[in-house]
Amino acid sequence: MTEKNQERHLTLLQATSINMTDMVGIGPFITLPLVISLMNGPYFLYAWIAGAFLSMIDAMVWSELGAAFPMAGGSYNFLKETYGNKKWGKLMSFLFVWQTMIQAPLVIASAAIGFAAYLSYLLPLSNFESKMVSGGVVIAVILLLYRKIESIGKISIVLWLTVLVTMFWIIGGGIAHGNFLHPIKHMNDGLSLNFAFTTAIGFASVKSVYSYLGYYNVCHLGGDIINPSKNIPRSMFLSIVGIAILYLCMNISVVSVIPWQQAKESKFIISEFMEYLSGPVAAQVVTCLVLIVAFASVFSATLGYSRIPYAAAADGAFFKVFAKLHPKGNFPYMSLLILGGIAFAFSLMFKLGEVISAILAMRILVQFIGQAVGLIMLRKVRAKTDFPYKMPFFPWPVYLAILMWFGILISTGKSLVLGGLTVILIGTIVYLIKSKLKKEWPFQQQLSEEN
């Protein structure tokens, strides 16, 4: 399945549904109490607004690059093109795939771990049983994805509808309760625009941004999108706007029923919310829907990430095993199986709180900031006609995105920042060893000069 002969099958509706199912997942149901706790006040809604604002600004960067380079692999291609595919682009794209081999399984594992955590509302689980459930979720997703992309597009629509039904039920419950506008009227109570608020919103935004991640998933599937120059940007902006509205309404709905002081301590906030409104049976039903949403997130994330190592390997820039395609289904099965295997191991090793911040810390420098800087460089050397989508007020949105990502990175904590830098350093060493053995850049240049 090369980019030249690959057929495109995913419509705007399917692309948007894949994005939205990836974005929702278990994230907002798990992080809702965490965000309230970190903000410690009715103004916690500002953290969700901040997450949506950053996502929208960053989506402009993704839209320019995604529309210009609609190929499988997303950021791998973006970094290679923006930094030059003969020199620094080789290193940057390799580093992206390298860190993807760690952070992508962390993303998949986080949703699987969240699934097991919420299942304990229905079935109390021991630590061992919880690990078995999270590992089983990863295996089930791999089996479900082991098929042609056309079938996956149809599955994504079903899962997306489940996401919408769940969110609308939660929001509708709060509206029916009759106190829906109360949290909005009092969201500024006790608010002081000072250093403490800025610090709190920084830490809280780490959690809220985690719940928005996935708006760019369509870029990893760029080679499968119909009319990509228009549908890739559209699907991202539609996803962010739609999810932001749903998240804000869901948060408002929940705290209109359960006071924020009580909600911040809850482990099963949605289940408890529905039990208060409609009794234990309704709580069990909504918990099942949350579990389906969590499963859908694992499904969507695994689908997108499996295309990244494949794209790099097919390009000769990563290990050849990842370039193998299924002989009948024509999908990158080895990439799917290897990433799924690592995610399975992570789901058994880590706890949810340990992976959320690590996911962001590991990917911000190379992926988000790296490709934003690369876009500025690329715009200077490429004609405007090379960019089907052009962000308004360029380059100011890019500068703002970089600044905000640095703020999120610092908020993840010193140890995680150092961990992310360590991954980059090890990846650079591996790249240099590989390049030395294959006599590629930068050693190719040195050999040419010596000769």
Residues 284-321 pLDDT 10s: 999 998 888 888 777 877 887 888 888 888 888 888 89
pLDDT in tens, 84-128: 888 899 999 999 999 989 888 988 888 888 899 889 999 999 999
Question: Tokens 């690329």 sit at which residue?
Answer: 378
pLDDT, one tens digit per residue, over 376-423 is 999 999 988 899 999 999 999 999 999 999 999 998 888 889 988 999
Q: Tell me phi and psi for residue 267, to 5 degrees.
A: -95, -20
Average of per-residue pLDDT across 9-26: 84
Residue 7 lies in a domain: no
Tokens of 244: 């932001």
Residue 49 lies in a domain: yes
In a domain? residue 224: yes
In this prediction, residue 171 has a pLDDT band, given cuts at 50, 70 and 90, of: very high
What integer pLDDT is reported at residue 149 of this predicted model? 64
Structural domain contains residue 445 = no
Residue 442 lies in a domain: no
Question: CB within 8 A of 104, min separation 6: which ones?
Answer: 301, 305, 308, 339, 343
Cβ atoms 11, 156 nearer than 8 A: no
Which residue range forms the structural domain that includes residue 30? 12-425
The pLDDT tens digits of the residues spanning 342-377 come to: 999 999 988 776 777 788 888 899 999 999 999 999
Q: Is the peptide bond prior to 395 cis by the omega test (within 30 degrees of 0)?
A: yes
| Residue 433 resides in a domain | no
Asked whether residue 2 is assigned to any structural domain, the reply reads: no
Q: In 3D, which of 351, 414, 419 has the Cα closest to residue 30?
A: 351
Name the pTM for this structure. Answer: 0.85
Contact between 144 and 155 (Cβ < 8 Å): yes
How many domains does the structure of the chain reveal?
1
Assign 4 a pLDDT band (cuts: 50, 70, 90): very low
| CATH number for the domain that contains residue 156 | 1.20.1740.10
- pLDDT tens digits, 319-340: 889 999 888 878 889 999 999 9
pLDDT of 72 above 80: no
Q: According to the model, what pLDDT value does residue 350 have? A: 82
Mean pLDDT of all residues belonging to the chain: 88
pLDDT score recorded for residue 151? 65
Residue 347 within any structural domain of the chain: yes
The DSSP line for 68-130 is: HS--BTTHHHHHHHHS-TTTHHHHHHHHHHHHHHHHHHHHHHHHHHHHHHHHTTTS---HHHH
pLDDT at 150: 63
